[in-house]
Structure 1
Amino acid sequence: MLRFILRRLGSGVVLLVALAVLGFFLLQLGSTDTAQRIAGQNAGPEAVAVIEERYGLDQPVLVQFRDWASAAVTGDFGRSWFTGQPVLDSVTSRIAVTSALAVGAVVLTAIVAILLGTLAATRRGVVDRAVQVLAVIGQAIPGFLVAVGLVLLFAIQLRWFPATGYTRFSDSAGDWVRSVTLPIIALTIGAIGGVAQLVRSSMLDVLDKDFVRTLRSRGLPYRRIVYRNVLRNAAGPALSLLGLQFVTTLGGAVIVEQVFSIPGIGPLAVSSTGQSDIPVVMGIILATGTVVLVVNTLVDLASAWINPKVRLS
């Protein structure tokens, strides 16, 4: 187990370095007249030259990357070129909000999808077909339409939840739950179908195994066999898909955060990319990559814990 964690950490560091190199040079290719935008559209050549010298934009790309990387290794990711705020503070506060939404969405997806997949696998016929139809419908509806529909119904019509805004957990736990409920549901709707169908197919494969027939022949309750033996053996593929779903949810959070006016990483990524604010965008890339690596490692460990037959390799 320790060897697996160390190996995953080593590969994670390599991946983060690759993301940093690729992201930095792609951003350089896409950024034009950055100094002019920082100085202002009405700034003269002298003011633009001062900005270029201040931020090292007059240096070759390799020199710029060397300077940024040498500072980043020490934990100094610089400041935003447009707001002057420290990148580390801006990104960590916002990635925490987005990660909370993504984790909540994945947990809710796991609970609902496992329940629906189990019902579809154990109750063939009408229930099975109904679950599959609902899964397909959920996957077909675009995420932004789900978000807008939830706002119209639960925020504007019923007034159960706020339409927009975000309350920090430290300020009020109850208001925090109300502010994240609709965004989490919006992120969950489209993901439930795929996970539920995978749980269903995996459970059907396990239900045909000889050990299941042996347990049933011994008189054990069918429900106990399903939840203690079948579901545990069928959970591996679903956990792997949930790990991938977490990455997809982080991407979907960009749209959902815009709809609900949540100060997550999505609005910051959109504004920083449009401005070519390279220090902030690089901080977002590294923070997001780190979160994804940690979650994928935890998913692998959970798979090994749930099913001892799984070997970490």
Structure 2
Amino acid sequence: MGRFITRRVISGISLLFVISSAAYLLLYISSGDVARNLLGPTATDEQVAAKAAELGLDQPLLTRYWDWLTGALTGDFGTSWASRAPVTEVLGGRVSVTLTLVIAAVIVSALGAIVLGTLAASRGGWSDRTIQVVSLIGAAVPGFLIAMLLVLFVAIDLGWFAATGYVRPTESFSGWIQTAVLPITALAVAGVAAVTQQVRGSMLDEQRKDYVRTLECRGLSRRSIVFRHVLRNAATPALNVLALMFIALLGGAVVVEQVFAIPGLGKLTVSSTLTGDVPVIMGIVVVTVMLVVAVNLLIDLIQAWLNPKVRLS
């Protein structure tokens, strides 16, 4: 298990280095005149040149990247060009907001997919067909449309939850429920739809295998066979889809947070991109990749626990 974890960690570190390097190069190519964007169109050429020198934009690309990389290795991602605040402070509160929503959406997706996928594979008939149709619709409808429909009908018309804003669970749990249920739902719909189909397909494949008939001949109940054997063996492919859904939900949070006016990474990404705030964007890139690597490592460990053969792959 130790070698298995070591290989995964080295792979994650390599991925982080490659993506951060590529992101820095792309930002350098596409950022344009950052100093002019920050100062506005009325700034003089002298002011723009002074601002560029202040930000280090007059340095060669490799020098700027090396300075950023050596700082990032020590946890220093620099200072925001727009707010002049340390990037770690800018990201601090927003990472927890987005991560709370995404993790909650992943949990809802996993639980909903297990229930619906197991029901579809075990019952068949109209239950299976209904769940497949609903899953197809859930996967096809864009997340921003679901978010707007929830705001219009559930928040505004029915008044069950808050339409905009965000309350941290540490401040008020009931307030967090009021502000988080709708964004989590908007994020989780596509996840439930995608993972349900995977759970259903994997369970149907498992139920056709010889060991299931052997267990039935030994007198084990259908419920015991499904939940103690079939579901466990079918979990590995579903976990892979769930890991991909986590990445997709991080991207979906950008739009959902805009709709619900939530101060998370999504809104920060949009505003930083518009102003060309490279240090903040790079901080977001690194944090996002680290989260993806951590989730994939966790999924690999769960798969290795469920199926020891995974450790040898």
- Normalised to the residue count of structure 1, the TM-score between the two structures is 0.97
Deviation sequence 1:246-284 (CA, Å, 0-9, x none): 000000011100000111101111111111111000000
1:267 equivalenced with 2:267 (yes/no): yes
In structure 2, the partner of 1:311 is 311
CA 1:181–1:312: 2 relative to 1, 3 Å: farther
In structure 2, the partner of 1:240 is 240
Amino acid of the structure 2 residue aligned with 1:155: A
In structure 2, the partner of 1:179 is 179
In structure 2, the partner of 1:50 is 50
Aligned partners of 1:303 and 1:312: how far apart in 2? 12
Aligned residue pairs, count: 313
In structure 2, the partner of 1:220 is 220
1:23-38 matched pairs, under 5 angstroms: 23-38=23-38
Deviation sequence 1:164-207 (CA, Å, 0-9, x none): 00001221122112211110100111222221111111111111
Amino acid of the structure 2 residue aligned with 1:74: T
On the 8 A contact 1:20/1:282 being kept in 2, the answer is: yes
In structure 1, the partner of 2:195 is 195
In structure 2, the partner of 1:134 is 134
On the 8 A contact 1:95/1:288 being kept in 2, the answer is: no
On the 8 A contact 1:143/1:186 being kept in 2, the answer is: yes
Q: Percent of pairs identical after alignment? A: 51
For 2:81, what is the secondary structure of its paired residue? Answer: coil
Amino acid of the structure 2 residue aligned with 1:62: L
For 2:58, what is the secondary structure of its paired residue? Answer: coil
In structure 2, the partner of 1:295 is 295
Deviation sequence 1:150-173 (CA, Å, 0-9, x none): 112221122111000000122112
On the 8 A contact 2:37/2:276 being kept in 1, the answer is: no
In structure 1, the partner of 2:120 is 120
Aligned partners of 1:157 and 1:222: how far apart in 2? 44
CA 1:211–1:132: 2 relative to 1, 3 Å: same
1:253 equivalenced with 2:257 (yes/no): no
What displacement does 1:142 show?
A: 1.2
What displacement does 1:22 show?
A: 0.6
Aligned partners of 1:67 and 1:310: how far apart in 2? 40
Aligned partners of 1:255 and 1:312: how far apart in 2? 39
CA 1:165–1:312: 2 relative to 1, 3 Å: farther
| Unaligned ranges ≥5, structure 1 | none
Aligned partners of 1:20 and 1:88: how far apart in 2? 16
Aligned partners of 2:38 and 2:141: how far apart in 1? 40
Amino acid of the structure 2 residue aligned with 1:264: G
What displacement does 1:309 show?
A: 4.6
Aligned partners of 2:143 and 2:295: how far apart in 1? 23
Aligned partners of 1:70 and 1:132: how far apart in 2? 50
What displacement does 1:120 show?
A: 1.0
Aligned partners of 1:156 and 1:38: how far apart in 2? 37
Deviation sequence 1:59-78 (CA, Å, 0-9, x none): 11112112222222222111
Aligned-residue CA RMSD in angstroms? 1.3
Report which stretch shifted further, 153-162 or 232-241: 153-162
Aligned partners of 1:78 and 1:144: how far apart in 2? 33
For 1:168, what is the secondary structure of its paired residue? Answer: coil
On the 8 A contact 1:92/1:287 being kept in 2, the answer is: no
Aligned partners of 2:258 and 2:168: how far apart in 1? 17
